[in-house]
Structure 1
Amino acid sequence: MVQACIQQAPRVQNNTRWVKLQERWIKCNVEAGFFIDQGITTIACCARNSNDELQYAQTRQYNLKLSTLEGD
Protein backbone atom coordinates (compact mmCIF):
# COMPACT_ATOMS: atom_id res chain seq x y z
CA MET A 1 0.00 0.00 0.00
CA VAL A 2 1.34 3.41 -0.99
CA GLN A 3 0.58 6.39 1.21
CA ALA A 4 0.49 9.85 -0.31
CA CYS A 5 2.24 12.61 1.58
CA ILE A 6 0.72 16.04 1.05
CA GLN A 7 3.03 18.91 1.87
CA GLN A 8 1.57 22.26 2.66
CA ALA A 9 3.26 25.32 1.18
CA PRO A 10 4.62 27.73 3.79
CA ARG A 11 2.35 30.70 4.43
CA VAL A 12 3.60 34.06 3.24
CA GLN A 13 2.56 37.05 5.30
CA ASN A 14 1.54 40.01 3.17
CA ASN A 15 1.99 43.31 4.99
CA THR A 16 0.80 45.41 2.04
CA ARG A 17 -2.04 47.76 2.89
CA TRP A 18 -3.67 50.89 1.54
CA VAL A 19 -1.89 54.12 2.45
CA LYS A 20 -3.85 57.37 2.29
CA LEU A 21 -2.80 59.52 -0.66
CA GLN A 22 -1.68 63.10 -0.35
CA GLU A 23 -4.53 65.62 -0.55
CA ARG A 24 -5.87 66.13 -4.12
CA TRP A 25 -4.00 63.09 -5.52
CA ILE A 26 -5.64 60.37 -7.65
CA LYS A 27 -4.49 56.74 -7.73
CA CYS A 28 -5.23 54.56 -10.76
CA ASN A 29 -5.11 50.74 -10.62
CA VAL A 30 -5.07 48.71 -13.83
CA GLU A 31 -5.33 45.00 -14.60
CA ALA A 32 -5.31 42.89 -17.76
CA GLY A 33 -6.37 39.32 -18.49
CA PHE A 34 -5.18 37.22 -21.42
CA PHE A 35 -7.25 34.26 -22.65
CA ILE A 36 -5.05 33.04 -25.49
CA ASP A 37 -7.10 29.93 -26.39
CA GLN A 38 -10.29 32.02 -26.74
CA GLY A 39 -8.54 34.94 -28.50
CA ILE A 40 -9.74 37.43 -25.86
CA THR A 41 -7.94 40.16 -23.92
CA THR A 42 -9.63 42.02 -21.04
CA ILE A 43 -8.71 45.21 -19.21
CA ALA A 44 -10.02 46.90 -16.07
CA CYS A 45 -9.09 50.11 -14.29
CA CYS A 46 -10.31 52.25 -11.42
CA ALA A 47 -9.32 55.61 -9.97
CA ARG A 48 -9.72 56.69 -6.33
CA ASN A 49 -9.11 60.05 -4.68
CA SER A 50 -7.27 60.83 -1.43
CA ASN A 51 -10.47 60.02 0.56
CA ASP A 52 -10.55 56.51 -1.02
CA GLU A 53 -13.69 57.46 -2.98
CA LEU A 54 -14.17 55.81 -6.38
CA GLN A 55 -13.88 58.43 -9.13
CA TYR A 56 -13.85 56.27 -12.26
CA ALA A 57 -14.03 52.59 -13.25
CA GLN A 58 -14.00 50.81 -16.60
CA THR A 59 -13.81 47.27 -17.97
CA ARG A 60 -13.41 46.20 -21.59
CA GLN A 61 -13.12 42.98 -23.55
CA TYR A 62 -11.31 42.81 -26.88
CA ASN A 63 -11.46 40.00 -29.42
CA LEU A 64 -7.68 40.12 -29.81
CA LYS A 65 -5.07 37.47 -29.16
CA LEU A 66 -2.38 39.52 -27.38
CA SER A 67 0.54 38.11 -25.44
CA THR A 68 1.33 39.44 -21.96
CA LEU A 69 4.30 41.31 -23.45
CA GLU A 70 2.07 43.05 -26.03
CA GLY A 71 -0.63 43.78 -23.44
CA ASP A 72 1.75 45.43 -20.99
Structure 2
Amino acid sequence: MWNEWCDAQRTTNTTQLNEQEQQLHRWLPPRQGWLKCNVDAGFHNDGSITSGGWCIRDDVGQFIHAGSYWLNGKYSILEAEALAILEAMKVVCNMNLEHVTFESDSQSVVAAIQANHVGVSNFSLLIASIKSLLILKYTF
Protein backbone atom coordinates (compact mmCIF):
# COMPACT_ATOMS: atom_id res chain seq x y z
CA MET A 1 0.00 0.00 0.00
CA TRP A 2 2.86 2.34 0.85
CA ASN A 3 4.40 1.88 -2.63
CA GLU A 4 1.06 2.57 -4.32
CA TRP A 5 0.61 5.75 -2.28
CA CYS A 6 4.14 6.91 -3.21
CA ASP A 7 3.46 6.19 -6.89
CA ALA A 8 0.19 8.13 -6.72
CA GLN A 9 1.96 11.11 -5.12
CA ARG A 10 4.62 11.15 -7.81
CA THR A 11 1.96 11.04 -10.54
CA THR A 12 -0.10 13.78 -8.85
CA ASN A 13 2.92 16.03 -8.35
CA THR A 14 4.07 15.51 -11.94
CA THR A 15 0.56 16.27 -13.25
CA GLN A 16 0.36 19.44 -11.15
CA LEU A 17 3.76 20.58 -12.40
CA ASN A 18 2.75 19.92 -16.03
CA GLU A 19 -0.47 21.89 -15.56
CA GLN A 20 1.44 24.79 -14.01
CA GLU A 21 4.04 24.74 -16.78
CA GLN A 22 1.32 24.92 -19.44
CA GLN A 23 0.11 28.18 -17.91
CA LEU A 24 3.57 29.78 -17.76
CA HIS A 25 3.47 31.45 -21.15
CA ARG A 26 5.31 34.70 -21.56
CA TRP A 27 3.37 37.62 -22.99
CA LEU A 28 4.76 38.77 -26.31
CA PRO A 29 4.14 42.36 -27.35
CA PRO A 30 2.48 43.36 -30.60
CA ARG A 31 4.49 45.14 -33.26
CA GLN A 32 5.44 48.73 -32.57
CA GLY A 33 2.52 51.15 -32.63
CA TRP A 34 -0.07 48.36 -32.19
CA LEU A 35 -2.14 47.13 -29.26
CA LYS A 36 -2.70 43.53 -28.21
CA CYS A 37 -5.95 42.26 -26.72
CA ASN A 38 -5.63 38.93 -24.89
CA VAL A 39 -8.95 37.13 -24.52
CA ASP A 40 -10.16 34.09 -22.55
CA ALA A 41 -13.40 32.42 -21.45
CA GLY A 42 -14.37 30.45 -18.36
CA PHE A 43 -17.17 28.38 -16.87
CA HIS A 44 -18.71 28.46 -13.41
CA ASN A 45 -21.35 26.55 -11.41
CA ASP A 46 -21.13 23.33 -13.42
CA GLY A 47 -21.16 25.25 -16.69
CA SER A 48 -24.40 27.13 -16.06
CA ILE A 49 -22.55 30.47 -16.09
CA THR A 50 -20.10 31.45 -18.81
CA SER A 51 -17.65 34.29 -18.38
CA GLY A 52 -15.20 36.05 -20.61
CA GLY A 53 -12.49 38.60 -20.15
CA TRP A 54 -9.89 40.58 -22.01
CA CYS A 55 -6.92 42.82 -21.37
CA ILE A 56 -5.52 45.35 -23.81
CA ARG A 57 -1.88 46.43 -23.62
CA ASP A 58 0.37 48.48 -25.86
CA ASP A 59 3.64 47.44 -27.49
CA VAL A 60 5.64 48.07 -24.30
CA GLY A 61 3.18 46.19 -22.09
CA GLN A 62 1.41 49.21 -20.63
CA PHE A 63 -2.16 48.52 -19.51
CA ILE A 64 -4.78 50.21 -21.70
CA HIS A 65 -8.12 48.63 -20.79
CA ALA A 66 -9.66 45.41 -19.46
CA GLY A 67 -13.15 44.04 -19.22
CA SER A 68 -15.20 41.00 -18.35
CA TYR A 69 -18.75 39.69 -18.47
CA TRP A 70 -20.88 36.87 -17.04
CA LEU A 71 -23.72 35.17 -18.91
CA ASN A 72 -26.28 32.72 -17.58
CA GLY A 73 -26.55 29.73 -19.85
CA LYS A 74 -24.50 26.85 -21.09
CA TYR A 75 -22.20 27.36 -24.05
CA SER A 76 -19.72 24.96 -25.58
CA ILE A 77 -16.06 25.72 -24.97
CA LEU A 78 -15.68 26.85 -28.59
CA GLU A 79 -18.75 29.09 -28.39
CA ALA A 80 -17.53 30.63 -25.13
CA GLU A 81 -14.06 31.34 -26.52
CA ALA A 82 -15.50 32.84 -29.71
CA LEU A 83 -18.01 34.90 -27.71
CA ALA A 84 -15.19 36.30 -25.55
CA ILE A 85 -13.33 37.40 -28.67
CA LEU A 86 -16.45 38.95 -30.16
CA GLU A 87 -17.30 40.84 -26.96
CA ALA A 88 -13.72 42.15 -26.70
CA MET A 89 -13.84 43.25 -30.33
CA LYS A 90 -17.09 45.15 -29.72
CA VAL A 91 -15.49 47.02 -26.82
CA VAL A 92 -12.43 47.85 -28.94
CA CYS A 93 -14.72 49.15 -31.70
CA ASN A 94 -16.71 51.26 -29.23
CA MET A 95 -13.46 52.74 -27.90
CA ASN A 96 -12.44 53.58 -31.49
CA LEU A 97 -9.10 51.83 -31.03
CA GLU A 98 -7.14 51.01 -34.16
CA HIS A 99 -4.24 48.68 -34.90
CA VAL A 100 -5.33 45.98 -32.45
CA THR A 101 -4.21 42.36 -32.56
CA PHE A 102 -6.40 39.82 -30.75
CA GLU A 103 -4.93 36.74 -29.10
CA SER A 104 -6.72 33.64 -27.78
CA ASP A 105 -5.46 30.38 -26.33
CA SER A 106 -8.10 28.45 -28.28
CA GLN A 107 -6.38 27.07 -31.36
CA SER A 108 -9.68 25.68 -32.66
CA VAL A 109 -11.36 29.08 -32.61
CA VAL A 110 -8.36 30.77 -34.21
CA ALA A 111 -8.35 28.09 -36.94
CA ALA A 112 -12.08 28.61 -37.53
CA ILE A 113 -11.56 32.37 -37.85
CA GLN A 114 -8.77 31.85 -40.38
CA ALA A 115 -10.67 29.18 -42.36
CA ASN A 116 -13.17 29.71 -45.17
CA HIS A 117 -15.79 27.47 -43.57
CA VAL A 118 -19.37 28.73 -43.39
CA GLY A 119 -22.10 27.12 -41.29
CA VAL A 120 -25.38 27.79 -39.52
CA SER A 121 -24.55 26.72 -35.95
CA ASN A 122 -24.26 29.24 -33.10
CA PHE A 123 -20.50 28.80 -33.28
CA SER A 124 -20.47 29.49 -37.04
CA LEU A 125 -22.54 32.65 -36.52
CA LEU A 126 -20.10 33.87 -33.86
CA ILE A 127 -17.17 33.20 -36.20
CA ALA A 128 -18.93 35.07 -39.03
CA SER A 129 -19.46 38.07 -36.74
CA ILE A 130 -15.79 38.04 -35.72
CA LYS A 131 -14.73 37.86 -39.37
CA SER A 132 -16.94 40.82 -40.22
CA LEU A 133 -15.21 42.95 -37.59
CA LEU A 134 -11.78 41.71 -38.65
CA ILE A 135 -12.41 42.80 -42.21
CA LEU A 136 -12.88 46.34 -40.96
CA LYS A 137 -9.52 46.93 -39.27
CA TYR A 138 -8.20 44.28 -36.93
CA THR A 139 -5.80 41.33 -37.10
CA PHE A 140 -5.83 37.99 -35.38
TM over 0.5: yes
User: 2:46 is matched with which residue?
Assistant: 37
- What TM-score comes out, normalization by structure 1 length? 0.73
Aligned residues: 71
The offset of 1:69, in angstroms, is: 2.5
Gaps of 5+ in 1: none
- Cα RMSD of the aligned pairs, angstroms, is 2.6
Instruction: Give the number of the structure whose alpha-carbon radius of gyration is greater.
Output: 1
Gaps of 5+ in 2: 82-140
- What TM-score comes out, normalization by structure 2 length? 0.42
In the TM superposition, structure 1's runs of 4+ consecutive aligned residues that sit over 2 Å from their partners are 10-22, 35-38
Q: How does 1:1-72 map to 2 (within 5 A)?
A: 2-3=1-2, 4-5=5-6, 6-7=9-10, 8-9=13-14, 16-35=25-44, 37=46, 39-72=48-81
Greater fraction strand: 1
Whole-angstrom CA distance in 1 between matches of 2:31 and 2:78 = 32
Greater fraction helix: 2
